[in-house]
């Protein structure tokens, strides 16, 4: 599995509108692409600027190319991104996932008490 990390910066006042926008563009397109294994959308506010990260997971480079195009290292942008983003980073980062585990509920794992 491969993780794809994209980073952007927006004005903090636009954070909620940007999230709604990206739900209907990038996040929707991730989910519709064959070979996508999931995505996380992360925000960190630093005063007037909010950092945004999408961390998506893919079964292969070919799956990433179905989303991003043949130059899969380049970031993919949408027409209205310029209304939100303070700049466009040209590339994304890819990482081989060596271990993956997720607990998305508050229920403790029974093995924690064994």
CA 13-16-17 angle, to 5 degrees, is 90
The pLDDT tens digits of the residues spanning 46-102 come to 999 999 999 999 999 999 999 999 999 999 999 999 999 999 999 999 999 999 888
CA 26-45-75 angle, to 5 degrees, is 30
pTM above 0.75, yes or no: yes
Q: How many CB atoms lie within 10 A of CB 81?
A: 18
pLDDT on residue 37? 96
Would you say how long the chain is, in residues?
114
DSSP secondary structure letter of residue 87: S
Domains of the chain, earliest start first: 2-98 (3.30.70.100)
- Supply 6's token pair: 């994209």
Query: Is residue 104 predicted with pLDDT exceeding 80?
Result: no
């Amino acid at each position: 599995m491969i993780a794809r990390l994209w980073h952007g910066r927006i004005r903090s006042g636009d954070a909620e509108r940007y999230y709604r926008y990206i739900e209907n563009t990038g996040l929707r397109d991730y989910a519709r692409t064959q070979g996508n294994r999931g995505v996380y959308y992360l925000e960190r506010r630093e005063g007037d600027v909010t950092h945004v990260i999408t961390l998506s997971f893919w079964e292969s480079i070919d799956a990433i190319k179905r989303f991003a195009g043949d130059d899969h290292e380049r970031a993919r942008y949408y027409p209205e991104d310029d209304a939100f983003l303070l700049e466009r980073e040209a590339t994304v980062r890819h990482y081989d996932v060596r271990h993956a585990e997720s607990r998305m509920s508050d229920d403790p794992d029974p093995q924690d008490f064994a």
